[in-house]
Structure 1
């Protein structure tokens, strides 16, 4: 590929700007680790230093505005993890790293892993609010997954005893930090779900560094919390500490003490609320009873003496019964009259009489039809005999019967004259009762 800069001469500034554009485009965001050296902070407040390892060094700058997000204090000799973009400082022609984020090397790697896992699980929907399940108002039993020697379990139990001592609390002892802790906690959650004896599971641990709390940031534990059929409360660290388990759990408590307050209702507050409900219920019942009495009195004033009203209804009922009886008798009488009239009409138009009359007519018609058919048959038979006699008189077979014959060649041609025959020709003679085959021996014309 032809280099566009080969065909013209560039100034140092133009070449430097071209190199800066190429670097900023190709290395728009990089992550690099190294040791801080030559750290200096001028009056502008920006930090200038060199990142180095055993074989190379890289100039770096951290602007004042980005320093508010630092998770560690920069110092010479500190191993750090930096994220930023590569650029070129044109006056000196030096490339440098403009830093957007910096953290201690170990913590920085963990934080990157934390951010990646958080983004992955969030994309899968494990943090979605709609999959969060509500906690029971008054759980009968709670499973506390924690270290039995920690201060966190004592804080939770102390607060639980104050708020609701009747709730049964079981402790599932596990390691809460170190290698294998996440797998152990995940197995404990799965075991609790298999037994299905508890209403709520609480993950409990005191505060600590990011490394100390890392067991609660592992994917295995996060998926175990998400798969739990029992609601899970995450009470890990202090209020400023956030773990992956906090985001996946159905409820996050800032501290173990707060978890007890959020999971268990205050017994004294419940008793006070019940007493208040009883007082309000009694007052409501008294008010409703008084309103009912007032409505009853108002109804009595409107209705008057109920016994008199009842007597009036009895009289009206008797009157209606009498009218009903009269109406029924009149209606039955009318129906009987209509029935009698229909019976008379039906007798006049008795279908059996009409059927007998039509049967007689049918028999007379059949007799007339038979007589007509017989007359026609006789007439046709006589006509057929006359026509047969005529046909018999003119039929060729009748002529043959009188002694005549028909001569016909083998091809079916009829001979009408003796001159048409030839000597030794084979002919067929048709008589009235059969045929004769013969040969012509002599022709005698007349």
Structure 2
């Protein structure tokens, strides 16, 4: 089989890239080892985070670092055995999170986030997936006055510098918005711009069907079979050998399985995360996507039930599940909202691909023609999938990208 392009990885980034290439007249095959959207993209908070212009940084305060070292929190957990292999990544992550560099990174990151809603809107309409989307923002709740006041001030800065829309809520307004919520919350932010997704896997499935409807092909295969055949790229799939002029690596946390084989040593780390769905007790209703900011968990009223998501687990990518954060989060969430029985047979776990400067890797491989990279989106894979797919497809086909993507270039990590 001969195609114009192979896209490796059928998560939100890969599916979106495949769509945009196919739209531009390329014949594209999308390859994954599983059904599209079954890996990292399957389990997330279901938010298209237009407000997320500031990527998640590494804590800088010594006191807070010492509290994290106790390893008993909901928002972060680590495997002691995994730390030696991750120290170099964590040290660079910590350094990039200092105030000055974090602000510079946020300004470089903002153009991607700025187009997150508009690019999803394009694909949502094309895929007839409007029934999976809500457009009423989400709530971030604070327990202490100190945290509330600091976050209200930060929201005002984001509004002033990046045009992020928000509403500050009092305790009484929280009670009106969420009458079944329990606990003492001093205030909340309603981020107005983001959209939420009732079924993230359902959305990716809709995008996949749209891709096929415009002539794209989906198959299974092993990315490590990728190699060069003359000036073309070749790999083995369930449908036989495929050759193409261009290949896009959109494998998320598994990108190194391909990149290392061609001599690229990107400092890619992982933050693992867990989720579980719950019924509700009695007639309780959760009206909003809701993060308990100081406790470190999020509740989302999705199609399957109330999804509880955790923070970050620093562990080896393929280590067995250790859902201790989920157990801690569940206890806190039950105290705040009347969750009922668990609806999933076991906790879901996924791995977020992260770079130490908190920005994705998007662009051409420095030393290979026809090899393109799109991974490292950390907490914002769902948010940034469509805009990443568009700008990379524009670059591949010789168009001027929608935004300047030089800040995300693979060259920043090239030896």
How high is the TM-score relative to the length of structure 1? 0.19
Higher helix share: 1
Higher strand share: 2
How high is the TM-score relative to the length of structure 2? 0.20
Q: RCO higher in 1 or 2 (8 Å CA, sep ≥ 6)?
A: 2
